[in-house]
A and B are shown apart, each in its own frame.
Chain A
Amino acid sequence: MQKSLSVIRPRSSPYLKVVGSIVWKDLVAELRSRELVAAMLVFALLIILIFNFTIELQPDLRMTITPGVLWVTLAFAGTLGLNRSMAIEKDRGCLDGLLLAPVDRSAIYFGKAISNLAFMLIMAVIVLPVYSLLYNINILKLGLFLVVFLGSTGYAAIGTLLASMAVQTRTRDVLLPVLLFPVIIPILLAAVRATGGFLQDLPISEILPWLNILIGFDVIFIVVAFLVFEFVVEE
């Protein structure tokens, strides 16, 4: 066992390389386990099915409730993913392993947030066509994908920060939605309105204010998380 090791000196790892390494690690781990996206997907599809079976709707009413049902589905299923994503880090002490690295802690935040965003978008890409089929409505529109991207970005940005807080408590499964849902009301509201606008083919001038709100809250949530993440993860 008494082998010799060469002398090596760590140096500061480039910021983007750290972010990329965390995203790579999360995606590879998820590809192997499939426990996170699978859970989100099953939950999302169940919500859609339950809405489909419990609400008898006229075709014109379907279009009205679609944005709400869609975003409730994405938000609920997204919470499941956020919780699981941080629990994987916490349960085996991996979060400590990340925090022990000599890297800017905001890079850890961005790595986790981008992974969470990727999982949200994968779920959305599968859920949207299923929704179209079940409700017999064409919701596969380019503008809608933009809204899903912007809404998911804000959701993942603040959700990752709050999940990092919640995961350190015993009641993390309950605490995350309690913390998250009040904070993301502006994102959900703007996303629902923008989605409705695109589905009803409203002129872009009527949708643009909602898109601007989405972009504004995305920026606010990212900046806030960037500033406070270090304090949130430290005891």
Chain B
Amino acid sequence: MAPASMIKVRKLVKRFGPKTVLRGLDFDVQQGEFVALLGPNGAGKTTFLRILASLARPTMGMLEVAGYPLPAQAGAVRARLGVVTHLPLLYGDLTAEENLRFFGSMYGLDGLNHRIDEVLELVGLLLPRRDPVRTFSRGMQQRLAIGRAILHDPDVVLFDEPHTGLDQDACDMLDSLLLNVAGRGRTVVITSHDMARVEDLATRFDVLSRGVIVASATREDLGKNNLLDFYRQSLVAH
């Protein structure tokens, strides 16, 4: 059986006043795919992810996430979606456990205590679970942010430049968490400027430039260590 389509975007346009950020973008992701969305600053990557996350409305075009149309069934999409950005989306004055409890209550999760234990163990934060998040390092906050994003076991997880501001060790730990999420059959879309890192993570690479996808290739298509060349050539050709 062919994998289900988890993200389907057709002729997506997004304008902010006179400025057009996305210009008729088409995009498809199948269940279980790990897609890296690459592109220069201002290409529209974050805007695109915010529309997929139902945080922004499209000006025109058709979108479906996990089989539900956006923005018509945004609530159903949100229940099946996890989002991690370079900001932690966490409350600094609450503890790690309290943050997860709060967001868990927003998702109406059953067996929340057990789930919080599982997630904290997964992201390696069982020990400091009762410490306020503001005392966490940037890497610990980002790990907890991933815990928050996967707390409700979403089908699709969006990562918007999650490596920003992390040191080498924190990036390595983050990558192992990303692979863990993808390894459980979840669909992942990540934006990043760090080619070396996403080259080892993603199964497909799409290049976004001036509001449209200008090139797409699977890891098999590229072979080893060819992502940077592919990226540069894609931008030059368009």
* A interface residues (Cβ-Cβ under 8 A, vs B): 1-14, 17-18, 21, 24-25, 28-30, 32-33, 88, 92-94, 96-104, 234-235
Contacts and interface: CB of A to CB of B under 8 A. Distances in A.
Nearest to A108: B106
B153 A7 contact: yes
B56 A94 contact: no
A5 to B, nearest CB: 5
B55 to A, nearest CB: 6
A97 B144 CA distance: 13
Contacts of B90: 92, 94, 97
A17 B81 CA distance: 21
6 cross-chain pairs, A with B, having the tightest CB-CB distances, nearest first: A93-B87, A13-B108, A101-B106, A97-B89, A235-B56, A102-B79
Contact of A5 (B55, B75, B105, B118): B118
B122 A3 contact: yes
Given A24-B102, A100-B54, 7 more contacts: A1-B176, A3-B180, A10-B107, A25-B94, A32-B94, A32-B132, A103-B75
Given A5-B150, A11-B108, A235-B57, A94 B180 contact: no
Interface string B75-118: 11011010101011111111000100011011111110011001
B163 interface: no
B180 A100 contact: no
B176 A29 contact: no
Nearest to A26: B91
Contacts of A99: 54-55
Contacts of B177: 1
Nearest to B177: A1
State which size class the interface on B falls in. 35 or more
16 contacts: A1-B122, A1-B173, A2-B176, A2-B183, A3-B180, A5-B119, A10-B79, A14-B108, A17-B108, A18-B105, A21-B105, A25-B102, A94-B91, A97-B90, A234-B56, A235-B57
Nearest to A6: B118
A3 B184 CA distance: 10
Contacts of A94: 89-91
A92 B89 contact: yes
Contacts of B114: 6
Contacts of A3: 118, 121-122, 180
Contacts of B115: 6, 8
Contact of A102 (B50, B75, B83, B111): B75
A5 B83 contact: no
Determine which residue in A25, A97, A234 has the highest number of CB atoms from chain B within 10 A of its CB, and name it.
A97
B93 A29 contact: yes
B152 A234 contact: no
B53 interface: yes
B118 A100 contact: no
B55 A92 contact: no
Contacts of B183: 2
Given A6-B118, A11-B108, A97-B90, A1 B57 contact: no
Given A3-B122, A25-B94, A8 B110 contact: yes
B105 A8 contact: no
Contacts of B132: 32
Contacts of B92: 92
B128 interface: no
B24 interface: no
B103 A9 contact: no
Contacts of B129: none
A30 B91 CA distance: 11
Given A1-B122, A18-B105, A235-B57, A93 B89 contact: yes
A14 to B, nearest CB: 7
B105 A17 contact: yes
Interface in B151-201: 152-153, 173, 176-177, 180, 183-184
A32 B99 CA distance: 14
B153 A8 contact: yes
B69 interface: no
